[in-house]
Amino acid sequence: MPRRLLSAVERAEAEVVFGAGLDYTRVFVVENTPLPNWIADIGRSPKPNAITLGSVSYFPEMLQITGADIQNKNLRAITWLMHELTHQWQFQRLGWGYLTRALWVQVAKGQKSYPYRLEDGRRLMDFNMEQQGDIARDYYQALVAANRDENAPALAPFQPFIVELKSGAYRR
Query: For residue 30, what are the contacts with CB-CB under 8 A and spacing of at least 6?
Result: 1, 2, 3, 4, 56, 57, 58, 59
Of the candidates 8, 10, 20, 7, which has an alpha carbon nearest to the alpha carbon of residue 162? 20
119 belongs to the catalytic site: no
Of the candidates 61, 69, 56, which has an alpha carbon nearest to the alpha carbon of residue 140? 69
Cis peptide before 48 (omega within 30 of 0): yes
Are 164 and 170 contacting, i.e. CB atoms less than 8 angstroms apart? Answer: yes
CA-CA distances (angstroms) from residue 165 to 36, 80, 125?
25, 17, 11
Q: Which of 10, 31, 84, 164 is catalytic?
A: 84
- Active centre residues (catalytic): 84
